[in-house]
Structure 1
Amino acid sequence: MFKLTSLNLNGIRSATTKGLAAWLAQHAPDCICVQEIKAQWPDLQGKFEQLAGMRGYFQLAEKKGYSGVGVYTRHEPSDIIIGYGAPEFDAEGRYVEVRFDTPRRKLSVISSYFPSGSSGPERQEAKYRFLDGFYPVLQRLKAERDFVLCGDINIAHQEIDLKNWKSNQKNSGFLPEERAWLSRVLDDVGLVDVYRHLRPDATGDAYTWWSNRGQAYAKNVGWRLDYHLATPAIAAAARTESIYKGEKFSDHAPLTIDYELQV
């Protein structure tokens, strides 16, 4: 089995003070894709270049205390791709691709952090620019190789993906244009929402993010914002899923899927 976890850290320094490293040592994933590292190179060096026996590969934001993504892996990659070629968003640290290529198969594990538009119209427009530019990246990748993209994509796709869908229809993360984009990724590009493939009807169990306001976590007023989006061959190898809701490392929960893959 190849155990793959995705987690928005909301700051790597904060998450590790809350027991993340010990949990990873016990949980023992083969890879963990992390988002919102919120650190610069001097913060990582000598401290977070490795985590629970895994080596990390990162794209950090130019802005301090902002964004940043990484992939920690136990396996030796054949190649590392930092960024996807969009200067505006590469500067924000939103894409790392770790490749495990063999003569028989080309396989990528990608950690990505999609922009949020919740802070205002300007950021929502940036989010739309990201989605517009990222769509052909996914098309090209799917034509070339198998992959699984893990990350906080800041979109709840269906009504069952958030608690209060009726009152959020005009809010970023559940806007019709965002949901339609994700539908096109699944229907036209041909990627698979792996969690939904395994748990098609899950509601409250599926949430991965909770606001820090109004006891949202205690009341399970959540959203499903974290995904594994995979090419069909990889999705077909998915066997089990879990969303860990024991210790709270950040405002997101770790999403893990076990794939019957040899890497």
Structure 2
Amino acid sequence: MRVISFNANGIRSAARKGFFDWLATQDADFVCIQETKAQSDQLTDPEFNPPGYVCQYVSAERKGYSGVAIFARRPPTRIITELGLPEFDQEGRYCAFEYPDLVVASLYLPSGSAGDHRQASKDRFLEAYLPIMAAYRESHEQPFILCGDWNIAHRELDLKNWRSNQKNSGFLPHERAWLDRVFGELGYVDAHRVVAPDEAVYTWWSNRANAWENNVGWRIDYQIITPDMKDRVQSARVYRDQKFSDHAPLIIDYRD
């Protein structure tokens, strides 16, 4: 089972750069997209609904902002498009496909890099979402694959210039401690680190100073899974042969 997570930084922009042509070659079972930046009336072209997939877009109320999507090979028994957090649901940050034997979700966490007001919003999200993640572990039996742009680099290994970013959003001590709780207290697993525990690999690069070309990046895109999925992680890689966005697709294969 192949699962791809990708922050498109505008799905229409990524399409123009060849994302859907590439996707057609991947034989993915699930594709979780973040930051679609599009409304439903801007996604009527068949290109945005690839053949063979059930496609669900969740748009932000604000045009040209946020938004997530899931493409799946098999129809879900239930689609969830809200977290029950009004401040963030209006920003189109969550979509989940439920099946009797699995749940796959696409999540886009707020970024705090635009200033103190956005960091405050991000911190409110972190505080509100942790209990939701805890409640899932207590109330659901299905394995869970939670794909997303988490906008947090967890460890020093997860960004090239970690020393100079310790006071910057995305690598703040309390953000990293939040992920510590996700992986420790709540027992979730960073799927990429199952097969590459010590690999310096990145999924996002600034548009400044030739960061992409020099591979000066951050790993902020994750597939976070419940422990029952850990032994099913077979391989993980970040695709960089083409540039569709300032993020690169994270591709993880799971044993059936």
Q: Which interval holds the TM-score relative to the shorter structure?
A: over 0.9
Supply the AA of the counterpart residue of 1:156. Answer: A
Supply the AA of the counterpart residue of 1:57. Answer: Q
What SS is found at the alignment partner of 2:126?
helix
1:21–1:52 Cα contact (<8 Å) kept: no
1:238–1:259 Cα contact (<8 Å) kept: yes
Q: 1:3 to 1:244 in 2, by over 3 A?
A: same
Quote the residue 2:114 is aligned against: 119
What is the total number of aligned residue pairs between the two structures?
254
Quote the residue 1:133 is aligned against: 128
Q: Report deviation, 1:52.
A: 5.0
Q: Report deviation, 1:58.
A: 2.1
| Alpha-carbon distance in structure 1 between the residues aligned to 2:213 and 2:14 | 19
Answering whether residue 236 of structure 2 is matched by residue 233 of structure 1, we say no
Quote the residue 1:260 is aligned against: 255
Percent identical: 50
Please list, as runs of the form range in 1=range in 2, the aligned pairs for 1:67-216 lying within 5 A after superposition. 67-101=66-100, 105=101, 107-143=102-138, 144-145=140-141, 146-203=143-200, 206-216=201-211
- Following TM superposition, the consecutive aligned residue runs of length 4 or more in structure 1 with deviations greater than 2 angstroms are 45-49
Q: Report deviation, 1:141.
A: 1.2
| Alpha-carbon distance in structure 1 between the residues aligned to 2:50 and 2:137 | 30
What SS is found at the alignment partner of 2:130?
helix
1:216–1:222 Cα contact (<8 Å) kept: yes
What SS is found at the alignment partner of 2:174?
helix
1:106-132 CA distances to partner (integer Å, 9 max, x unpaired)?
A: x10010000000000000000000000
| Alpha-carbon distance in structure 2 between the residues aligned to 1:244 and 1:113 | 20
Q: Report deviation, 1:46.
A: 3.9
| Alpha-carbon distance in structure 2 between the residues aligned to 1:32 and 1:77 | 14
Supply the AA of the counterpart residue of 2:58. Answer: Q
Q: 1:19 to 1:53 in 2, by over 3 A?
A: farther
Structure 1: gaps spanning 5 or more residues: none
The normalised TM-score by structure 1 is 0.94
Q: Report deviation, 1:40.
A: 0.5
1:35–1:113 Cα contact (<8 Å) kept: yes
2:40–2:57 Cα contact (<8 Å) kept: no
1:99–1:109 Cα contact (<8 Å) kept: yes
Structure 2: gaps spanning 5 or more residues: none
1:140-183 CA distances to partner (integer Å, 9 max, x unpaired)?
A: 11221320100100000000000000000000000000000000
Supply the AA of the counterpart residue of 1:178. Answer: E
1:77-132 CA distances to partner (integer Å, 9 max, x unpaired)?
A: 1110111100000000000010121xxx3x10010000000000000000000000
CA RMSD of aligned residues (A): 1.0
Q: Report deviation, 1:22.
A: 1.0
Supply the AA of the counterpart residue of 1:166. Answer: R
What SS is found at the alignment partner of 2:92?
coil
Supply the AA of the counterpart residue of 1:201. Answer: D
Q: 1:49 to 1:18 in 2, by over 3 A?
A: closer
What SS is found at the alignment partner of 2:153?
coil
| Alpha-carbon distance in structure 1 between the residues aligned to 2:20 and 2:134 | 35
| Alpha-carbon distance in structure 1 between the residues aligned to 2:214 and 2:45 | 39
1:168-206 CA distances to partner (integer Å, 9 max, x unpaired)?
A: 000000000000000000001100001011100001xx1
Supply the AA of the counterpart residue of 1:55. Answer: V
2:20–2:47 Cα contact (<8 Å) kept: no
Quote the residue 1:25 is aligned against: 24
| Alpha-carbon distance in structure 2 between the residues aligned to 1:52 and 1:7 | 19
